[in-house]
Amino acid sequence: MFKKVLIANRGEIAVRIARACRELGVRAVAVYSDVDRASLHVRMADEAYGIGPAPSRESYLVIEKILGVARFADCDAIHPGYGFLAENPALARACVEAGVTFIGPSAAAMEQLGSKTAARQIARAVGTPTVPGTLDPINSVDEATEIAREIGFPVILKAVAGGGGKGMRSVASEGELASAWRDATSEAQNAFGDARVYLEKYLERPRHIEIQVLADQHGHFVYLGERECSVQRRHQKVIEEAPSPIMTAELRKAMGEAALKLARAGNYTNAGTVEFLVDAQRNFYFLEMNTRLQVEHPVTEIVTSLDLVKLQMRIAAGEPLPLCQEDIALRGHAIECRIYAEDPDNNFFPSPGKILDCGVPTGPGIRLDEGIYAGWTVPNEYDPMLGKLIAWGRDRKEALARLGRALEEYYASGIKTNVSLFRRILASRDFREGAIYTRWLDDFLSAAPTTENRDGNEDTATEQAAAIAAFLWHTSHALGASASETLAIPESKWKTEGRREQVDREP
């Protein structure tokens, strides 16, 4: 095992990796930008080094700075986390040259499987199903029309360089193709500097289901079941769960084996995720591969009882996988909420700032992966994710009940958070029934308030009352009051107003 690992990241994932290091008896080295000097990941590490100004282009994204620290601090490995340099083959390559182990796949595997078009070609070659459509970019509207007629409408145009839904247009009929072509190509040009698009059959209301895979350096591959990630807002995941509410043992096996075929063909090593779209008939289609540890890895950890970060480190250190496919058993149900410093009442606008106080949910079946503390200021230079709240239950129903309960215990005052969004989602009939698809949340949020009410959302007054009750609970709890006192109606107008002011700081 390594002696010292550099964590080339910040926030909750850097904290998560530091915890794995601690458990393995490995020293954890943090890096931080000027605005992260007092961040939790720095406090959790054994050593920490400044790497420059707040903008990530001048700090967390500068390979030479990261490797400079690795050399100076005599680290034997680098864990990139997710985002930043995690899927940049240049870092993996620079590590090889510097004699430092990159905790992740090889640069070559990253290039092959991390590229959408290259991965699609590999998928076709090995028989992992892909959405019907072209493999190569299309040169003209006429060519697009011809292909669309062949595969049948509706179709979807996607940017070759695509990501985050940019340069993507669905086309219902031939009459819409020309304008969709103009929109998709110009958006792709603006976003990626690459106007090329390709065409696929458009799937209506598909689910986004991904398979977690692990591969060691000795040719052993396993899949760790799936994660259902259909609840997304503007192509950002909001809630993830394992298992998927629609999964069957047969489908899991078929998708798992399809994912491993792809991983094997790309000589993949370490942890990776294979994304699929799944239609209403449970047909699945390969979408893309993520060659990193993902934000939502905890739901898989919980239902498999495995520690993915420690396994990543063991694999990178050359150890063989300590388990084979038959050893992997799934137990219960886990659901994760991504908690952001953003204002759900103001179009989810980021809400960085100083956290005055925060409440940490605990109790049966609860896990909180956070990178914050009371008194810390959420910087505005980075993604404003504060952490992830994850609930486990013996079944989905119990997991949902625990998640709802833990969300009531969660608060971060001084900033806005998106916690009220989860209360709304958990209260909706569609979500409770698992009737979700990739555009479900966007549809849900743009639906008229009457629809939302019919779906079982609490009205504002109820929600306010609940928030006040939660606040009272915290206040009295801190003072050691009894349960009956916590529900007492405030007797003084001053107290009521004071409490209301506090509550208003919460989402």
Q: Which backbone phi and psi does 458 adopt, to 5 degrees?
A: -70, 145
SS3 152: coil
Give me the 252-291 binding string for ligand MV4, x by CB under 6 A, dash otherwise: -------------------------x---------x----
Q: Check binding of 112 to ligand MV4 (CB under 6 A).
A: no
Q: Smallest distance, Å, CB 243 to ligand MV4? A: 18
Task: Name the nearest CA neighbour of 153 among 133, 124, 179, 182.
Answer: 133
Residue 437 C-beta: closest distance to ligand MV4, Å: 8
Nearer to ligand MV4, 83 or 414 (CB): 83
Residue 120 near ligand MV4 by CB under 6 A: no
Of residues 387 through 446, those in contact with ligand MV4 by CB under 6 A are 438-439
Measure Cα distances from 68 to 32, 41, 62, 319, 499 in Å.
13, 19, 10, 27, 51
Closer of 277 and 472 to ligand MV4 (Cβ): 277
Spatial separation of the C-alpha atoms in residues 279 and 109, rounded to whole Å: 29
Cα-trace Rg, the chain: 24
Indicate the residue among 101 and 128 with the shorter CB distance to ligand MV4.
Answer: 128
Distance of CA 191 to the CA centre of its chain: 22
Q: 442-463 b/e with 16+ CB inside 10 Å = b? A: eebbeeeeeebeebebbeeeeb
Which has the closest alpha carbon to 468: 488, 452, 484, 483? 488
Site for ligand MV4 in 436-475 (CB under 6 A): 438-439
Closer to ligand MV4 at the Cβ: 183 or 381? 183
Residue 16 CB, shortest distance to ligand MV4, in Å, is 24
The nearest distance, CB 232 to ligand MV4, in angstroms, is: 5
Cβ atoms of residues 41 and 111 within 8 Å? no
CB of 404 to ligand MV4, least distance (A): 24
Q: In what order do the strands lie in the sheet with 155-159?
A: 169-171, 155-159, 197-201
Q: Which residue is nearest to ligand MV4 (CB)?
A: 438
For 24-84, the DSSP string reads: HT-EEEEEE-GGGTT-HHHHHSSEEEE---SSGGGTTT-HHHHHHHHHHTT-SEEE--SST
Residue 213 found at the interface with ligand MV4 (CB under 6 A) = no
In the chain, the N- to C-terminal Cα span, in Å, equals: 44
Rounded to a whole number of angstroms, the minimum distance from the CB of residue 228 to ligand MV4 is 11
Nearer to ligand MV4, 31 or 131 (CB): 131
Cβ proximity to ligand MV4, 36 vs 240, nearer residue: 240
Cβ 138 vs Cβ 200: under 8 Å: no
Exactly one of 12, 36, 187, 200 binds ligand MV4 (CB under 6 A); that residue is 200
Judged by CB under 6 A, the stretch of 66-74, 200-208, 248-256, 321-329 that binds ligand MV4 is 200-208
Name the minimum Å distance from CB 242 to ligand MV4: 17
- Interface with ligand MV4, residue 232, by CB under 6 A: yes
Write the DSSP symbol of residue 2: -
Q: Does 235 bind ligand MV4 (CB under 6 A)?
A: yes
Instruction: Give 201 or 500: the residue with its C-beta nearer to ligand MV4.
Output: 201
Shortest distance, position 43 Cβ to ligand MV4, whole Å: 35
> Residue 19 or 201: which CB sits closer to ligand MV4?
201
Site for ligand MV4 in 153-172 (CB under 6 A): 156, 165, 168
Residue 201 token pair = 């059959």
292: annotated active-site residue: yes
In the beta sheet, which residues pair with residue 49? 31
- Which listed range, 140-148, 198-206, 247-255, 487-495, lies at the site for ligand MV4 (CB under 6 A)? 198-206
What residues between 333 and 362 interact with ligand MV4 by CB under 6 A?
A: none
Say how far apart CA 387 and CA 340 lie, in whole Å.
7
| CB closer to ligand MV4 out of 51 and 168 | 168
Which residue, 205 or 405, has its beta carbon nearer to ligand MV4?
Answer: 205
Q: Which of 20, 113, 131, 316 binds ligand MV4 (CB under 6 A)?
A: 131
* Whole-number Cα distances in Å, 436 to 104, 117, 207, 329: 32, 28, 7, 25
Pairing verdict, β 353-354 and 197-201:
unpaired
Written as six digits, the tokens of 434 are 């698992």
Which x/- pattern, by CB under 6 A, does the window 30-69 give for ligand MV4? Answer: ----------------------------------------
Answer for which of 202, 276, 348, 431 binds ligand MV4 (CB under 6 A) is 202
Tell me the three-class secondary structure of 377-406, residue by residue: EECCCCCCEEEEEEEEECCHHHHHHHHHHH
Q: Is 203 in the site for ligand MV4 (CB under 6 A)?
A: yes
- Phi-psi map region of 219: left, alpha, beta (phi>0 left; psi -120 to 50 alpha): left
Cis peptide before 243 (omega within 30 of 0): yes
Q: Determine the angle formed by the axes of helices 107-114 and 89-98, rounding to 10 degrees.
A: 170
Scan residues 168-197 and list those touching ligand MV4 (CB under 6 A): 168
Pick the binder of ligand MV4 from 206, 266, 371, 414 (CB under 6 A).
Answer: 206
Choosing from 169, 292, 402, 424, which is the catalytic residue? 292
| Distance, CA of 507 to CA of 504 (rounded, Å) | 7
Enzyme catalytic residues: 292
**Residue ranges binding ligand MV4 (CB under 6 A):** 131, 156, 165, 168, 200-203, 206, 208, 232, 235, 277, 287, 438-439
